[in-house]
A = this chain, B = another copy of it.
Amino acid sequence: MKTAQPTLPAPAPVGYVGNKAAVLARLRRIEGQVRGIQKMIEDERYCIDVLTQANAVKAALEQVSLLLLNDHVSHCVADAIRQGDSDAKIHELTAAIERFVRG
């Protein structure tokens, strides 16, 4: 994406470009939560409490994925549909949802 030639039309921005700062802020918070779990392990905190924190990180990560999915449909998939060339994009989207659902 960084290698687009200046004489070519600019590539379409990624779907989440308008939410970039919000997505990054969430990911930094997730990074902090992961470090928090490391600290819990070092301190030998109770297993179930560690699991609860791990679930919180998983949920936060899923929220990021849902945000990205939403932006992806609103922009990338919507553009492909408007250009009449959406089959591959929709197949790719469903495959991504499947991987998301099935872990």
Contact = CB atoms under 8 A, between A and B. Distances in A.
A38 B27 contact: yes
Q: How many copies does the complex hold?
A: 4
A65 B65 CA distance: 19
B55 A41 contact: no
Please classify how large the interface on chain A is, using the bins under 10, 10 to 19, 20 to 34, 35 or more.
35 or more
Nearest to A71: B47
Contact of A103 (B14, B64, B101): B101
Report whether over half of chain A's contact residues are helix, strand or loop; otherwise say mixed: helix
B94 A70 contact: yes
Contact of A38 (B31, B51, B92): B31
Contacts of A48: 72, 92-93, 96
Interface in A53-83: 54-55, 57-59, 61-62, 64-66, 68-74, 76-78, 81-82
